[in-house]
Chain A
Amino acid sequence: MTMDTDTSLELGDIQAAALMPRPNPYAGAYLALRIDDRRAGRELLRRLIPLLEPVASFDPGRPVSLGVGLSYAGLQAIGVPAASLASFPAEFQQGMAARAAYLGDVGESAPQNWEKPLGSNDVHLMVAALARDTSLMETLVMLAQDAIRDLPGVTPVWRLDVHVPPDGREQFGFKDSISQPTVEGTGILGSNPHEAPLKAGEFVLGYQDETGDVAPIPQPDVLGRNGTYVAFRKLHQRVAAFRQYLHRNAADEAEAEWLAGKFVGRWPSGAPLALAPDKDDPDLGADPARNNAFMYGDDPRGLKCPVGAHARRMNARDAVITGQVRLHRMIRRGTNYGPSLPPGVLDDDGADRGLMFAFVGAHLDRQFEFVQRQWVNDGKFIGAPAERDPLIGMQDGGEFTIPSRPIRRRLRGLPDFVVNRGGEYCFMPGLRALRWLAELDT
């Protein structure tokens, strides 16, 4: 069942990869390119545009997703005029590396430790190619690589292959990508029937957002309208450290799984603690009609799902917190990279494994950056200033409270389970904007 579409939303111009859920299962690749010659960069766009689909013609049954975005350095490299460049928001202009301290990317997650060339000015154009299986993905990647063939002024500088593992779960062992917002006027249903659709302007530039306003968009209008922003981050997951911590703090496997569920806010199957507070319910986790159909209003103390659990921090729904949830909703995409650590193994094998995270939204500052700073790396909004997101927060020996009868559990000495290996802010233009960029003659 789809919603009525708002005819004023230009669904024929918005890149489908921005709004449509990724294929599941999936295999894919993220490619970063450097543009050394603006004419070559524009020719690349001319070649890529026919491969891109808008939301209007996207077929959910068709198992491919291809998206293109440019960093601020990329827009400069392709020759966008200075006045246009200046119309982009400050945080986008600065880039993710320059925002590291603000985002909590310190210590091992600091930009000087990032995987090169991430964080440098060499990441100009990002291509995200996802398909439902490996052979389709390889076809898609070949199409993208064909697009840069014979373009000496465009250089591939980074690639990350992503794939769903055999068990379909992210590296910590949890079903992922369950929660998606409903975006008004798109015809794309979200996964929580209790959540009213969010204004299109939260995710697409040029439309009314949840504040009731239309936010300023990059200029000229043809460039900014129907675009959106993407923040991507290569997150290394310390799976062995996570398992070790759980086992050190649990009497047995069952308790270790209980602790893990409390950290995440869902059980490994994806079943939400809000609906299954005591133990996993695989049938619930597997049911897309039920596994996100919940709120937190009946659980103010967090006795079912801890108020500081990861999923509850990412989307507090109707919980009583400091802040308006609807102003900070995000489209989040996650894809696995690296080999899985076999079940039961507690020793780190040194492999690089983790999640390629992507945020999509129209406001880098009050969506991605706000959540990262206020709801991931701080706990004041839930009355727990000493606590951070137990799964992805920068811990530095922090603590996590699990409400429980008769006595709450308070875990201490949490290490960092996730390290940011690098990322960038990209602008994902509409198709008309991509043609405008391709036709620049600066």
Chain B
Amino acid sequence: MTTTTNVKSGLGLSDGVVSELATYWNVLPGHEDELRAATERFADTLRQVPVEKNIHTGLRDQRHVIFDNGQRLMWATTFENEWDPYFDDFVLIGIDHFLDWMQHTTQGAAVSEWVESSGGVEKFSQENPDVQAHVQRTVGGLKKIVQSVQSPATGYFNNLNAWTMPQILKAQRLQEAFQQVLDDPGAAEALQHPALKPLLEQAAD
């Protein structure tokens, strides 16, 4: 397991191909219920993103936890990829989705200020043909805010640390194809070729 902590770059701990990023925000007084709803919407949004797009962002999982009697918020993610391109691409799912929950934190004011100074919400819209370049030019400000509330894990373990999401999805596609082969009555004969011995050894279960 690599242990890399670099406050300036915002890196958390890594385990194999997976890294973690956990951030701790302050909830605006009286905003707990709205924050809770916004975090549910955020998870729903991610759930509707096609898996290939989520792979593009490198995101493995994320969660929000409201704690300390509704006063604090943890936002934790794990991701593959490098921190910088990960964050750039993650933001491209739509800045409004981030604003939706960030606005209920005390850090939300700084986020709003960054959005305005970056040309406004419209500039981050998917309708803007230049949105990708715009994000790359301006996202440093948001990264700075996120880094300011980030604490790297002191210990991190991921059971699937050796495999990236593309590898897992490729394995699943191969598995589905292999099971189709095994369902064919001719499978036993077809797999007798010496070159297919590794497959035959996996065919029994």
Q: Which residues does A use to contact B, with CB under 8 Å? A: 301-303, 307, 401, 403-408, 410
Known contacts A406-B188, A406-B191, A407-B188; A303/B205 CB under 8 A: yes
Please measure, in the bound complex, the distance between the C-alpha atom of A401 and the C-alpha atom of B175, giving whole angstroms: 15
Please measure, in the bound complex, the distance between the C-alpha atom of A177 and the C-alpha atom of B203, giving whole angstroms: 34
Please measure, in the bound complex, the distance between the C-alpha atom of A404 and the C-alpha atom of B188, giving whole angstroms: 11
Q: Which of A302, A303, A401, A407 has the most CB of B within 10 A?
A: A407
Residues of B within 8 A of A302 (CB): 205
**Contact between B205 and A301 (Cβ–Cβ < 8 Å)?**
yes
Please measure, in the bound complex, the distance between the C-alpha atom of A407 and the C-alpha atom of B191, giving whole angstroms: 9
Number of A-B contacts (CB under 8 A): 31
Q: How far apart are B185's CB and chain A's nearest CB, in angstroms? A: 9
The one of A301, A405, A408 in contact with B182, judged by C-beta atoms closer than 8 angstroms, is: A408
**Contact between B205 and A406 (Cβ–Cβ < 8 Å)?**
no
Please measure, in the bound complex, the distance between the C-alpha atom of A307 and the C-alpha atom of B204, giving whole angstroms: 13
Q: How far apart are B59's CB and chain A's nearest CB, in angstroms? A: 23
The 6 closest A-B pairs by CB, nearest first: A403-B205, A301-B205, A405-B204, A407-B203, A406-B188, A407-B188
The one of A303, A401, A404, A406 in contact with B200, judged by C-beta atoms closer than 8 angstroms, is: A406
Residues of A within 8 A of B205 (CB): 301-303, 307, 401, 403-404, 408
Chain B's closest residue to A412 (CB) is B183
Question: Is B187 an interface residue when CB atoms closer than 8 A count as contact?
Answer: yes
Please measure, in the bound complex, the distance between the C-alpha atom of A155 and the C-alpha atom of B123, giving whole angstroms: 77
Q: Which of A307, A404, A408 has the most CB of B within 10 A?
A: A408
**Contact between A303 and B183 (Cβ–Cβ < 8 Å)?**
no
Residues of B within 8 A of A410 (CB): 179, 182-183
Chain A's closest residue to B190 (CB) is A407
Residues of A within 8 A of B188 (CB): 406-407
Q: Please name 13 pairs of A and B residues whose Cβ atoms are closer than 8 Å in the assembled complex, sorted by A.
A: A301-B205, A302-B205, A303-B204, A401-B205, A403-B204, A403-B205, A406-B191, A407-B187, A407-B203, A408-B182, A408-B203, A410-B179, A410-B183
Residues of B within 8 A of A404 (CB): 204-205
Please measure, in the bound complex, the distance between the C-alpha atom of A303 and the C-alpha atom of B204, giving whole angstroms: 8
Residues of B within 8 A of A303 (CB): 204-205
Chain B's closest residue to A403 (CB) is B205
Residues of B within 8 A of A401 (CB): 205
Residues of A within 8 A of B203 (CB): 405-408
Q: How far apart are B24's CB and chain A's nearest CB, in angstroms? A: 31
* Besides A406-B204, A407-B187, A410-B179, 14 new A-B residue pairs in contact (Cβ under 8 A), listed by A number: A301-B205, A302-B205, A303-B204, A307-B205, A404-B205, A406-B188, A406-B191, A406-B200, A406-B203, A407-B191, A407-B203, A407-B204, A408-B204, A408-B205
